[in-house]
Amino acid sequence: MKTKLIRIGNSQGVRIPKPLIEESGLSGEIEMILRDNEIVLRAAEPSRKGWNAAFRKMAAQADDQLEDWSGSEPNSEWDETEWSWEDTSGEEI
């Protein structure tokens, strides 16, 4: 399928026909990569993908402690009772 570059402000772009978008499954945020003089569009991977699994692995290996704990202050009562981490990645914990 051929198409033409169109002017968009100071840039140029292309219109992607609906059937191509539907067949590719692209939606929302996408990544654009230049590879061997070709522009490749693909679904964007979520930020911090795989971090939860990596953190679980670190915790299982007791490798989730501060490197330089000696120079830091101990946790306050507030740190221990009020502070909480929330997972907003959508990954299963």
Residue 41 pLDDT: 92
Tell me, yes or no, whether 87 lies in a domain.
no
Return the amino acid letter for 24.
S
Tell me, yes or no, whether 85 lies in a domain.
no
The pair of three-digit structure tokens given for residue 31, joined into one six-digit string: 């990544």
Tell me, yes or no, whether 3 lies in a domain.
no
Tell me, yes or no, whether 81 lies in a domain.
no
Q: How many domains does the chain have?
A: 1
Tell me, yes or no, whether 76 lies in a domain.
no
Tell me, yes or no, whether 51 lies in a domain.
yes
Give, for all 93 residues of the chain, the pLDDT tens digit: 888 999 999 999 999 999 999 999 888 889 999 999 999 999 888 778 888 888 889 889 988 777 776 767 778 888 888 887 776 666 665
Provide the greatest CA pair distance for the chain.
65
Per-residue buried b or exposed e for 48-63, using 16+ beta carbons within 10 Å of the residue's own CB:
eeeeeeeeeeeeeeee
Residue 92 pLDDT: 60
Measured in degrees and rounded to the nearest 5, phi and psi for residue 12 equal -135, 155
Range of the domain at 57: 13-63
Tell me, yes or no, whether 79 lies in a domain.
no
Spacing of C-alpha 59 from chain mean position: 22
Tell me, yes or no, whether 48 lies in a domain.
yes
